[in-house]
Amino acid sequence: MKPDRKSKLYVHLLFWILYYILEVYLDFYWSRYQFPATGWQTRLQNTIVLEFGYLLIKMPLAYALLYVYETTGLKKFLTYILYCFIMVAAVLTHRFFTHYIIYPHIYGVTETLDGKQPSGFINGLVAFNSFMDLIFMAGLIFGVEITRQKNLLKEQISLLKSEKLDQELTMLKAQINPHFLFNTLNNIYGMALKKADETPDVILQLSKVMRYNIYEAAERYISIDKDVENIKDFLQIQQIRHHDLVIRFKEDIDQPSQEISPLILIQFVENAFKHGVSETLGQSFIHIDMKLNNGVLHYHIENSKEEKPHGNSTKIGLKNIRRQLELLYPKHSLTAESTNDRYIVNLIIDFNDSSRF
C-alpha cells in the first residue's frame, strides 16, 4: 500500500472510531433524561446499535462530499448535482431510520416534537435537524481530510527541499576537498624539491587531515571540537613549511559537542594561506580567535598579505563557503575587510537559530 493511502486509512479509521465513541457518549447521556425509567445497560445497548445505524448513513455522504471536492472541470459540476440528490436521499434515510425504526422498535415510543405532539415522517424541524446532523459530520471528515492532505504536502515539500539542499552541499564539498588537497600537495611538492627534512612529517600530518576530509566531512554535522582539531592539524602543516610564520590561535568554547557542518571553518584558514600568507614576502602571520558562548560562534581570522599580490587567485573556496552558509545558516553574519597589509574575516553563527534539515 502506498504511504499516502496508508496514512489516509489510518487517519480516517481513527476519525470514525473517535466520532462513533463521541456520538455514543452524547446519545447515551441524552437518553438518561429522555428515558429515565430504562436501565443504563439497556440504554447503552440501544445507543450502540442506533449510532452504528446512523454511521452507515453518514459515511457514504461524507465520502461523496470528498469525491466532489477532488473532481475537476465539467465533472465537478455534475458531481455537485449528484451530491444534492445524495444529500436528499441521506436526509430521507435518516428520517426513516429515526421515525420508523429507532423510536418505535428501540425506544418503544412514538417520535414527538416536544414530548407530547407526535412528529410525522416529513416535518420541517426534524428534517432540518437531520440535515444539520449529516452536514456537520460531513464537514468534520472533510476538514480532517483537507488537513491531512495539507500536512502531507508540507512534508513532501520539506523532503524535496532537504534532498535538494543535501545534493547541493554534497556537490560543494566535492569541489572543496580537491581544492584543499591540491593546495597542500603543492606545498609538499615545493618542500620535496628542496629536500626538506620536514617532508615526511608533513605527509604524515596531511594523511591525518585527509582522513578527516574523507570520513568526518562526509557527515552532515560533526562536533565543533573535531573541526577545531582539524584546523590545528592544518596549521601544523603550514608551520613546518613556513618557518617564519607567526601563528596565534585562541579558542574559548563552552560546549565542545556543539554540532557544525564540516569544512566550513577550515576554508577561511585555507584561503588565508592560499591568497595571503603564502604571498607575503616579509614575515607572515595568521591570527585566529574562536569563541563559542551560549550557542553563538564568533570566528575571527586576520592574516598578512601583500599590498599588490601577484598571481591569479581563484576564489572557488570562498564562493562555496558562502553558499554553504546561506543554505545551513541563513541568518549568519560574514564580513571581510582588506587593508594594505592584512585581510580580516569575521563570521558569526547563531546555532540557536540555524537551518537543520
- pLDDT at position 312 is 45
Q: For residue 311, what pLDDT is reported? A: 47
Q: What is the DSSP string of 47-65?
A: HHHHHHHHHHHHHHHHHHH
pLDDT of 95 over the 70 cut? yes
Q: Please give the DSSP secondary-structure letter assigned to residue 331.
A: T
> The pTM is what?
0.52
Which residue's entry shows cell 616579509?
282
Least confident range of 65-79, 142-156, 202-216, 231-245: 65-79
Average pLDDT (319-342) is 82
DSSP summary character for residue 341? S
pLDDT > 90: what percent of the chain?
A: 12
Would you place residue 202 in the very low, low, confident or very high pLDDT band (cuts 50, 70, 90)?
A: confident
The answer for residues whose C-beta is within 8 angstroms of residue 19's C-beta and 6 or more apart is 137, 140, 141
Q: What angle do CA 144, 150, 152 make, to 5 degrees?
A: 100
Instruction: Decide which of 85 and 232 is more confident.
Output: 232
Q: Which three cell numbers stand for residue 113?
A: 416534537
Helices (runs of H) and strands (runs of E) counted in the chain: 8, 7
Q: Which three cell numbers stand for residue 289?
A: 580567535
Model confidence band, residue 162 (pLDDT cutoffs 50, 70, 90): low
Tell me how far CA of residue 72 lies from CA of 68, 149, 203, in angstroms.
8, 17, 68
Q: Which residue has the cell 603543492?
A: 186
Identify the pLDDT of residue 210. 79
Cell triple for 78? 455534475
User: How far is 351 from 223, CA to CA, in rounded Å?
Assistant: 12
Cβ contact 135:84 at 8 Å: no
Give, in order, the Cα–Cα distances in Å from 149 to each of 11, 135, 138, 144, 146.
11, 21, 17, 9, 5
Residue 220 is predicted with a pLDDT of: 79
| pLDDT tops 50 at residue 54 | yes
Structure confidence at residue 174 as a pLDDT band (50, 70, 90): low
Report the SS3 class of residue 304.
strand
pLDDT of residue 288: 95
Sign of torsion over alpha carbons 241, 242, 246, 252: negative
> Who wins on pLDDT, 289 or 330?
289
Quickly list H helices, 71-123: 73-96
Average confidence (pLDDT) over 21-43:
82
Rounded to 5°, angle at Cα 317 from 311 and 320:
140
Q: Residue 21 corresponds to which cell in the numbers above?
A: 465513541
Mean pLDDT of the chain: 79
Lowest mean pLDDT among 49-53, 70-74, 152-156: 70-74
Q: Enter the DSSP assignment of 223.
A: E
**Residues paired with residue 41 on neighbouring β-strands, in sequence order:** none
Residue 274 has pLDDT above 90, yes or no: no
Residue 290 has pLDDT above 50, yes or no: yes
The residue type of 349 is I
Q: Which residue has the cell 591540491?
A: 182
Q: Enumerate domains of the chain plus CATH numbers.
A: 3-122 (no CATH), 163-353 (3.30.565.10)
In angstroms, the CA 102 to CA 96 distance is 9
User: SS3 for 280?
Assistant: coil
Lowest mean pLDDT segment, chosen from 42-46, 145-149, 155-159: 155-159
